[in-house]
Amino acid sequence: MTSDNNALENPGSVQELLIHGLAFIARPFDSNEILKGLLKGLRECTGSERADLLMFQSDMNILFFSESDTAAYDVDKPGNLSMADSKNSAPVKALSGGHTVLVDDVRESGLLSLSSGARTLLSVPVFFGERTHGVLNLEHNDAKAFDPEIIRWIQALGGLFAMLLERSWLSEQVFNLNQRLIDTMTETANETDPGFKAHAERVSSIAVAIAVQMDLGEETVDAVRDSGYLHDIGKSGVSQNILVKPGSLTLEEIDEVRKHPILGRFLLKPLGFQPAVIEGVASHHERWDGSGYPRGLKGDQIPITGRILAVAEAFDVMTSDQPYRKKMILEEAVIEIQSHSGEQFDPTVVDALLGINFKEL
């Protein structure tokens, strides 16, 4: 169990577990780890044989075992439970009926128990508004384990499970929407600049490899990936004649191109992207020594996404054919990047670039 959910270990009661669990709603968390921690804490404080979270899969009309905490950790998870057959399953009865199901003595009920020797079953449906997430299921060998007060607290904990699952579901929806937006925006920009998409994919791939090499967190790596795809999206507001011009640009044309980080922020901000993604797009032309644009940020003032993208894009530009010159070989590009470490680029990011296996990109 990670340090994020150590507070869930050895709870004295369901009430205490609920209070500790509520703290995770307002901060980033690993949903799988927290759910496992809650189930483990619930099993321990109630003395149950099993504590399971069964998720509802509407397209197949089944309940499947998402997370499970059992007294015997080598017990295999059972198969899916079909909603079409409610005769032998307390979880299915709970979900289909929309209410908590308590079975005092499974031996007299005809219902199935998932644990050998378990006598009492408690199944609490997990809903959030109109959305069905699944069932919280407990099994105990004491017929009097779940009195009305304990059941009310377990139902309240089921509400916490619903909130955590809803938050994870919404995050997934936002992620999927953003991915569709990224695909649409890059395809549109590629119509204006045929090399846009390929460049964006290469920069994103290099940037992610750098972020992983730096051992940054998953959220930051995701932001680096998305900002890599979108770093030049502001160029959709720059004249195509300038973007594909084979010769040197005039001062006026350079000023026009240099507007693209700010244009990128303007385009992305209303769409709900992470601030780290937007700031990466807006700052990928800042320089470590403060001489970059558009804001002249210096050193650690530059967001980490921007610092990584600066190196990733420069490396890709150097190792790809451009309208104004042929590409460099890998070794030449590495030497060139190193020569600007501490001046144009963050030295830590440059060191991470040097640790990449370029054959895997």
Average pLDDT (98-122) is: 77
Cα within 13 Å of Cα(154), Cβ side: 31
Looking at the whole model, is its pTM more than 0.85? no
Q: What's the chain's average pLDDT?
A: 84
How many angstroms separate the most distant Cα atoms in the chain?
87
Question: How confident is the model over 175-223, as pLDDT tens digits?
Answer: 778 778 777 877 777 776 677 788 999 999 999 999 999 999 999 999 9
CATH fold for the domain made of 3-170: Beta-Lactamase (3.30.450)
Higher pLDDT: 66 or 274? It is 274
Candidates 3.90.1310.10, 3.40.640.10, 1.10.3210.10, 3.30.9.10; correct CATH number of 193-360? Answer: 1.10.3210.10
- Kindly report whether the peptide bond that precedes residue 294 is cis, defined as omega within 30 degrees of 0: yes
Least confident of 47-56, 151-160, 277-286, 318-327: 318-327
For residue 140, the SS3 value is strand
Percentage with pLDDT > 70 across the chain: 84
Whether 189 and 232 have beta carbons less than 8 Å apart is answered as: yes
| Distance between CA atoms of residues 32 and 75, nearest Å | 19
Would you place residue 52 in the very low, low, confident or very high pLDDT band (cuts 50, 70, 90)?
confident
Domain ranges of the chain: 3-170, 193-360
Query: For the segment 17-28, what is each residue's pLDDT rounded down to a tens digit?
Result: 888 888 777 666
Beta strands in 202-263 (DSSP E): none
pLDDT digit string, tens, across residues 269-280: 877 788 999 999
Q: What is the mean pLDDT of residues 317-324?
A: 80
Q: Is residue 86 scored above 60 in pLDDT?
A: no
Q: What's the pLDDT at 77?
A: 46
DSSP string spanning 150-197? HHHHHHHHHHHHHHHHHHHHHHHHHHHHHHHHHHHHHHHHHHHSTTHH
What is residue 300's predicted lDDT score, i.e. its pLDDT? 96
- Residue 240 to residues 16, 189, 227, 243, 245, Cα–Cα distance (Å): 62, 10, 22, 5, 8
The H or E element spanning position 28 is none
Whole-number Å distance between alpha carbons of 3 and 100:
33
* Percent with pLDDT over 90 in the chain: 39
Using one digit for the tens of pLDDT, what is the confidence trace for 137-185?
A: 898 988 888 999 999 999 999 999 999 888 888 878 877 787 787 778 7
Nearest CA-CA partner of 125 in 148, 151, 159, 85: 159
Q: Using CA atoms, how far apart are residues 273 and 160, in angstroms rounded to an integer?
A: 27
Token pair of 153, please?
């607290």
